Amino acid sequence: MTNAGPPYSTYAEVPYYRKQSFFWLTYVLFAPIALALLVSGDIYYQRKGEVKSFGMANRIVASLIALLWLYGLVQALEGH
């Protein structure tokens, strides 16, 4: 099976909620939304005029950091 590449030919075609800038904004403001975006589909960015999506390593690192952040938030709210 060959990799057909991203389903978008230009970055302008990518829905706003799948763009890298929206992902990072939600990641900083409310990590669970960013995690839901990662789980539900690809996050796209533009490099050298081409539309690319986050790789598995990006997904794993972003998920781990968000989970650690959420753990810290829960600990702070519990007073530990």
Closest CA to 47 of 39, 58, 63: 58
pTM exceeds 0.85 for this model: no
Q: pLDDT tens-digit profile of 31-70?
A: 788 888 888 889 999 999 899 998 888 888 888 888 888 8
| Exposure string for 44-79, b = 16+ CB within 10 A, e = fewer | bbeeeeebbbbeeeebeebeeebeeeeeeeeeeeee
Q: What is the pLDDT of residue 17?
A: 94
